Structure 1
Amino acid sequence: MLVTDMDDTLYPLSLGLNLFCRKNIQEYMLELLHIEESEVPKMCLDLYREYGTTMAGLKVLGYEFDNDEFHAYVHGRLPYEKLKPDPVLRNLLLSMPQRKIIFTNADHAHAVKVLNRLGLEDCFEGIICFETLNPPKQINCMDVPNDNHVLTDLTENGCFNSHPQILCKPSVEAFEAAIRIANVDPKKTVRLITFLESDMGRLLLLCGYLDMFWPFVFKTLGINS
């Protein structure tokens, strides 16, 4: 089975989408949460490092905001036109017989846009994303929005209640939830492909703790440049 991150992994980091995303997050903190401008850059980075995402850290600190509004502000203004179809990567993925799943901290709408722009929308069995791990209420698994029969959120094997804190990578709880949702046999190898080279230490510790992940850490899988 192949579990892969998406942003800065299926496409090159050099495209700079992460920088646009960070800029939008900082503007959201400044304009909508009214955090002091001088504090925003360091706070944004510190929360990301501590909690996995700046959004998760803001929630822990007690900031109240709508999750969908946050995602629309941060991702809705990204220059998706920078993403181009990647036929080489597409053929590579389609040639692999293993189950293939996206595991991202991003929201579902962003994941769908990225995969569609890359021409990879039918290369994965499903997507485990923000809404999968953080539904707004206790839901029937089939209530999670789908885009087509291939590109779905993998919630068929488990539902989750709302969390007082956001559940996201790289927490052990997020990986355990993803394993449960994807119906993975914990005794079988799962290959994790991620850009998180800076988090390699945490990922290796996580693999040892879960005793089921074999990490492949690359700078990117994206072929185009």
Structure 2
Amino acid sequence: MSFTVTVPAADRALLTLDEIKGALGISGTDQDVALANFGLQISDIISDECRVPGDGIAIPTLLRETIVQTERIVRCDGNAKPASLILVRRFIGAISSITVDGTALEASDYEIDRGAGLLRRLCGSSFVDWPQGTTVVSYTAGFVEIPGALKRAAVTVLREQASADSRDPSLKSLRQKTDGLSETEWGYWVNSAAGGTSSAISGPASAMLDPYRYWTV
């Protein structure tokens, strides 16, 4: 499988400048440029946390882009052909075209699971396997209107990152003895969704992003 982002998102920001300033309690315009850049960094942190696939050129984003994806389906040693094609990006907006070895399919020839990013081949009202050969899919994927839950997650990550200089946002607990001896109890949030590895953001923020995550097998 290979894919190219042919029309990148015009703006990767998940939060507007006003939303950023409101979340951080900042007024005035002196810091607008820096805050806008900070907002883009937050959006990129979230895309990275969600494992949004990139084509190596365009910066990955959860926002609407146009994708051209090529699948080369081959049967080897009797292996079954895929019943579904997995599109590299989820949250499908529209399918512009699908060709199989250069022959265009009609809209009645396939069915889309937009949230999961799956394409099923149809023959009449029945599902069939995708045939051997080269299938090229041109489609749009990602959000035009950013879901409120994703906005709230972005605000949470924004505040964590803004306070990182004074406190590690992944710090879960801090304890101090009262008998004259100080003891620090370090505990870090672990992103269990990412296989138990440490994350750039806290566990609660990571959990908020689960509906937008690309799961790898």
- When normalised by structure 2's length, the TM-score is 0.29
- When normalised by structure 1's length, the TM-score is 0.28
Bigger relative contact order, structure 1 or 2, given CA contacts below 8 A and separation 6+? 1
